[in-house]
Structure 1
Amino acid sequence: MARSTPHDRPLYRRVASELLGELRDGAVPPGERLPGERQLAEHFGVSRETVRQALELLRRDGLVSTDRRGSHTTLPGPPVGHLSPLTFPVGARTPEPTAVDRTTISWRPPPAEHAAALGLAPHRPTLVHRYESFGADGEDLRTAVTSFSAVALAEVDELGRYRDRADGTAAAHLERAYDWMRRAGLTLHHRDAITRLVDRPSVRVTRLVHDQYARPLEITDLVVDARRETLVYEFTQPAAR
């Protein structure tokens, strides 16, 4: 852990400066909650007391505000509500008007590939969400399986509360999962990989989402019947200011 000397800038001032730089770089959207003191202490390699002093310095300068839910950035910028939200799970909105959707959630070990991507020990249970879309003839149009990381369940209260009712049969309404993550102070980065399955006429999309500290939050595998559906991605590029 770095230490300051009488001739050095106080450690908490260095942490405050580095944190402010990350906030200005967009690590946390304006108005959103910052990670907790423990996470910040681990991120900067300092004590929680040093983090408290750094946050107090930023509060005095009007750059951070604190309430009962935690500390929030007050830097100017577009409010988080104006950002284009990601659809959860990826591919959940099929273009077929007669399609019927079904969702369930369970507490069980995720697929092995998901466990590895999320840093979970083999056979360790977590929250697993399943989405299915059926055509008018009852055949599968698309299915998506999502596994959440321990970080997501610990940081996002709305997700954590699903553990006790994740029996694999009850409907799960997690459409706002990404919004919940952002409200918990997590900046979302996602990587989508698209592959064609060789054993059937389908396309698989694998989405991995992590936060501003490169901690995995969730991974989703979506399979789409390429004979009957078109997978469409839409992107919005904000105007230059």
Structure 2
Amino acid sequence: MVEGGVDTASDRPVYKQIADLLRSAIERGDLGPGERLPSETELMKRYGVAQGTVRQAVGLLRSEGVVVAEHGRGVFVRARPRLRRLAHDRFARRHREAGKSAYDAEAEAEKVTALVDSIRVYPDKAKDEIARRLGLRKGAKVLVRSRRYLSDGQPTETATSYIPWDLAKGTPMVETNPGPGGIYARIEESGHRLGRFAEEVTARMPTPDEVTALRLAPGSPVIGLVRTAYDVDDLAVEVCDTVMSAELYVLSYELPAT
């Protein structure tokens, strides 16, 4: 139920006031994820406004990613399942030893169904930045593994890994399915026991391709995360460039105080 009225004497445009009321109802839980908003006719009657004003209000909420319109059905509160990415735990060796990738472990903790699709695996020449991070010469051959991750059918992130070819060739890493525990388990099997991970996190607006791949609402930002994996001898063994839907993730870190 959406309560409250609009103040025609206010400096704030009426359509923004209506959007505020609807947004507040959603934030309170009066309108839950997946619930249908009142129809245009109902909102026009409730607030005594014209159809154009109602459409402006709903359009504002759509641009914010708060609601989604389904042709012929109406406008619905957008579901936003949030995944908690525990940076201090996601690469724990116990997950690999249990045959789980980092994403599988997160999905299990959040009680969602994980799926990986759009998988592409191929050799290529390393871009300059990737070569630098891996400590390779410019244009060195690397294995590229790109994929998209989904939780309960909702795309949440895309990731592209770059692995030195000399490390990846002749191993299951060149296959679409690298086996239990993912590529980090295979890297350790090759004799490179993992020692640390370094991550750089940025925020930005998505490219058109990212909007399509992640099914982003208009105006939704993404989190860019570039991770470099090092073995115990501090040799870089993988770089992973990840693009995450910002509204679907909580990044959780624990940092030592000493």
Class of the TM-score when normalised by the shorter of the 2 chains: 0.3 to 0.5
Which structure has the larger Rg?
A: 2
Structure ranking higher in helix proportion = 2
TM normalised by structure 1 equals 0.47
